[in-house]
Chain A
Amino acid sequence: MIEVKNITKKYGSFTALDNVSFEIKEGEIMGLLGPNGAGKSTTMNIITGYIEPTSGEILINGINMLKKPKKAKREIGYMPEGVPLYYDLTPKEFVTYMAGIKKVDKKVLKEKVEKILSETGLADVKNKLIKNLSRGYKQRVSMAGALVGEPKILILDEPTVGLDPKQIAEIRSLIKKLGKDHTVILSSHILSEVSQICDKVIIINKGKLIAIDTPDNLEDKVANDNSVYVTVEDVDNKIEQMKEKIEDIKEIKLIKENDDGTKKYLISANGKTDLRKSIFAEFAKENITIFEMKKPDATLEDAFMQLIGEGGDK
């Protein structure tokens, strides 16, 4: 459980974070979204105790980070942005070192390190120098460093940046697996990633918290229920007349003419009426063949752009 209460971070006259408050419950995977420079990393750095806020407080499982940093930091595993590692160590040495500074009991240290190395898929490379490893492996080493010491909270700053699609899929499934018994905060600017992995999303822009909700709810907020894409073969060019035939149609807009003679239109309705049934029935009568019909997907991308646009206008 993480409680962030009214944190503000100022650098001179520049306000990096402006009175941000939120709460993350135990076992939740929380995505932190925002454009570059929005304050994602600053937020994470404050939660992990790397930097101190100008005002406000952070409670990690009820422990105040500013008052009892040593105790609070034990609860957290942090994977910083850009995977900083000691390149002249091997993954095994690095994880052992991390276990050491996190005060893991010496008796079980060796065993714990081996377990984490195999969990993160590093067993094969554990004795190679980190500088010789590929980016994907470095990312895992960093993750292993965060996992050691069994922290209840994991904070991952852009965990999939710079990875190839296969590695991204692997890291994502690892995060999902970890989400079962950890509270996870991850930041990302890849929206599809966040909507796949996270239970909840926080959107930050220009240091302000703009939205906090589930990915589905955010998508619903911006969803257009009343329009539909159709791709048709319209030999007699009758589609413009359909506007009179189906009363609810507000507008028929040509999107694209395909090479095979079919045309793609966006048809929007008055109000919230679902047009699909009437389009199907009426188009058939007029000899317009429907090749494809589909409601536009409202993505987190749309929600994000819309919310950030709103935030910027305010």
Chain B
Amino acid sequence: MWAVIKKEFRSYFCSPVGYVFIGLFLLMFSIFFYTDVVDYGVTNFEYIFYSGATVLTFIVPILTMRIFAEERKSGTEQLLLTSPLSLTSITLAKFIAATLVIVITELCTFMYFAILCHFGTPDIVKSFVTLGGFLLLAMSYISFGMLASSLTENQIIAGIITIGFFISSWFLPNFNEIFDNLSLINLFSKFVYGQIDIADTVTFVTFTVMCLLLTITILQRRKSVR
């Protein structure tokens, strides 16, 4: 499993994918840093993430769309699936590698934290709770992206399915309250106030686990349909 994590992680940074991801992320965050923090003259580090969460909608698919689709298209899937690794460890390894990229990106955001420290004292608890919540949100996004990627051998389609789902989960609550609970972004917004809501945390974790299990099921199912 370690070998797959290492290779996946490496492939993010041996291709432009990882750099484009982190670059876009930091570009948007810098804009939010200016509009939401500097402009208001506050030192609230967590405000960047409040707006930043929407960025994930568009850039997580960059990370996830290739995960299974590319392997299926190039045939390298055969190497992986005929190795003694279980489908669970393959899926988990790929998930961990993508999550590591998010962790690295979060580490990069400490520069904003450092800048704010120079001008005042940002709330450390709120900041870290926000970072944790952001990671949970990103993990559930990644797991859904992987699920989409396991459905097709076309990366673009996987990407569109992912973005389509994220956008609808983001905007549907505007039409009807029923959809409130579907909105992962809304769940995240509580973390920004420094609250760790158990129910929300459990929702994120179960959503992630569910997507990963569905991915494994699809991979397993394809063995007999292929």
Contacts and interface: CB of A to CB of B under 8 A. Distances in A.
Interface string B12-24: 0011000000000
B76 interface: yes
Interface stretch (A23-31, A74-82, A168-176, A183-191): A74-82
A74 B223 CA distance: 18
Contacts of B223: 50-52
Interface of A: 11, 45, 48-52, 54, 69-71, 73-74, 76, 78, 80-82, 84-89, 93, 96-103, 145
B75 interface: yes
Interface string B67-107: 00000001111111111111000000000000000000000
Given A50-B82, A71-B84, A73-B84, A86 B7 contact: yes
- State the 8 A-B residue pairs at the shortest beta-carbon distance, nearest first: A100-B3, A84-B75, A101-B83, A80-B78, A48-B82, A73-B84, A52-B224, A84-B76
Contact of A78 (B78, B224, B226): B78
A76 B2 CA distance: 21
Contacts, number: 80
Contacts of A102: 83-84
A68 to B, nearest CB: 10
Interface residues of B, number: 26
Given A80-B75, A80-B79, A84-B74, A70 B86 contact: yes
Interface in B1-49: 2-4, 6-7, 10-11, 14-15
A54 B86 CA distance: 21
Given A73-B84, A84-B74, A97 B224 contact: no
Given A89-B7, A97-B7, A100-B2, A145 B84 contact: no
Contacts of B75: 80-82, 84
B20 to A, nearest CB: 15
Contacts of A98: 79, 83
B74 to A, nearest CB: 5
For B2, B14, B78, B80, the residue with the greatest tally of chain A CB atoms inside 10 Å of its CB is B78
